[in-house]
């Protein structure tokens, strides 16, 4: 299947990231502190700088982790200095629900490529566009999967953001937090620029367009083989 949407790998496991780096379908990478914690990363800076010795020619996002805007700006400038292919992830607010727009404006004005993360509404996206327009290529990450987790259809929101960004050629929309491979198709169909997904989703890419009768037969064989291997009897 010929996809126009760019595929980013979302994770912080070194081996998994390097596996995806070797995959020509993968155009970039995203990380966050939660993924790093799950992967057992204990030294943020050492991990990031190590990965950047391997991933040198594709965009990769690293997120600030302070809750105070002055410190977030210092962290963002430091992270941005690590490599030209680094994007600095800034959450749309801090934990006190205070807007990060001023911080985003400051970093963008200093030439930092910012990836604004944890957004779930069109209003949030609209609030950051003037700031991001001042900087180099930047991203808005809208968590479509979490919108769906709230029982809402993310497609109208994602479509509206795609339309908004037609006036901002330096800003790309990332479909974040997908839940299944079909989200790749949805992102592609609405003209979303990028979808970032974990390796367990990206590894299913070869099944796109698969014949359903063949897929059904493979599933039946899987059940039979697993039951046989387990030695089940009645």
Give the closest residue to 191 by CA, choosing from 165, 168, 211, 167: 165
CB-based contacts of 181: which residues, under 8 Å, 6+ apart?
201, 204, 205, 207, 208
For residue 206, how many other CB atoms are within 10 A of its CB?
7
CB-based contacts of 198: which residues, under 8 Å, 6+ apart?
9, 10, 11
Give the H/E segment covering residue 44.
helix 44-54
CB-based contacts of 122: which residues, under 8 Å, 6+ apart?
157, 160, 161, 164
Q: Is 89 a catalytic residue?
A: yes
Active-site residue identified among 4, 89, 96, 134: 89
Give the residue numbers marked as catalytic.
89
């Amino acid at each position: 299947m010929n996809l126009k949407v760019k595929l980013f790998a979302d994770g912080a496991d070194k081996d998994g990231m390097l596996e995806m780096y070797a995959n020509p379908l993968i155009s970039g990478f995203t990380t966050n502190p939660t993924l790093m914690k799950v992967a057992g990363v204990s030294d943020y800076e050492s991990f990031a700088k190590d990965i950047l010795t391997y991933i040198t020619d594709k965009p990769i996002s690293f997120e600030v982790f302070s809750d105070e805007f002055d410190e977030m700006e210092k962290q963002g400038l430091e992270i941005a200095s690590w490599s030209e292919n680094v994007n600095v992830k800034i959450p749309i607010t801090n934990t006190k629900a205070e807007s990060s727009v001023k911080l985003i404006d400051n970093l963008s004005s200093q030439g930092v490529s910012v990836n604004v993360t944890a957004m779930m509404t069109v209003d949030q996206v609209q609030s950051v566009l003037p700031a991001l327009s001042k900087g180099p290529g930047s991203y808005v990450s809208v968590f479509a999967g979490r919108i769906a987790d709230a029982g809402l259809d993310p497609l109208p929101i994602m479509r509206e953001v795609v339309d908004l960004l037609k006036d901002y050629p330096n800003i790309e929309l990332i479909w974040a937090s997908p839940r299944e491979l079909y989200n790749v198709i949805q992102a592609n169909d609405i003209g979303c620029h990028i979808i970032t997904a974990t390796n367990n989703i990206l590894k299913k890419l070869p099944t796109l367009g698969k014949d359903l009768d063949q897929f059904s037969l493979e599933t039946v064989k899987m059940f039979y083989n697993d039951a046989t291997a387990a030695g089940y009897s009645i």
